[in-house]
Amino acid sequence: DQQVKQNSPSLSVQEGRISILNCDYTNSMFDYFLWYKKYPAEGPTFLISISSIKDKNEDGRFTVFLNKSAKHLSLHIVPSQPGDSAVYFCAASAGETSGSRLTFGEGTQLTVNP
């Protein structure tokens, strides 16, 4: 039972354009969502998060949108840079302090072409 799904295994965009990574979830108990970025041979690093009381959170070039009714969130990167090329994981938990119960999606490989 895949409670967090990232349906696109890969995404390729041109430098300077927008990258949009999508994530869907099925568990209604999830109320805190995060995105992690992973470079090859490194562990995942935290990128941005959003609580279910919000529908948008922005941090520099990164914005996460949450649509609770659709159980869908997306990560927008504008403008995309070649250094953004990495695997992006969506994750969810039931509660902002339930870090041990993170459920991850399968990941999306983003490639930003110069």
Partner 1 sequence: EAEVAQSPRYKITEKSQAVAFWCDPISGHATLYWYRQILGQGPELLVQFQDESVVDDSQLPKDRFSAERLKGVDSTLKIQPAELGDSAMYLCASSHVPGRSEKLFFGSGTQLSVL
Which residue's CB is nearer to partner 1, number 15 or number 65?
Answer: 65
**Cβ nearer to partner 1, comparing 20 with 94:** 94
What are 25's two structure tokens?
């979830």
As a whole number of angstroms, the distance between CA 11 and CA 102 comes to 24
To which H or E segment does residue 35 belong? strand 32-38
> Least separation, in Å, of the C-beta of 74 and partner 1?
17
Q: Using the rule CB under 8 A, which residue among 12, 14, 45, 81 binds partner 1?
A: 45
Question: Closest distance between partner 1 and the C-beta of residue 92, in Å?
Answer: 9
Segment 17 to 36, residues that bind partner 1, using CB under 8 A? 32, 34
**Burial class of residue 10, CB neighbours in 10 A (0-12, 13-18, 19+):** exposed
Nearer to partner 1, 10 or 113 (CB): 10
Residue 20 near residue 75 (C-beta atoms within 8 A): yes
Could you tell me the two tokens for 64?
């996460």
Residues lying near partner 1 in the complex (CB under 8 A) are found at 4, 9, 32, 34, 41-46, 49, 89, 91, 93, 95-107
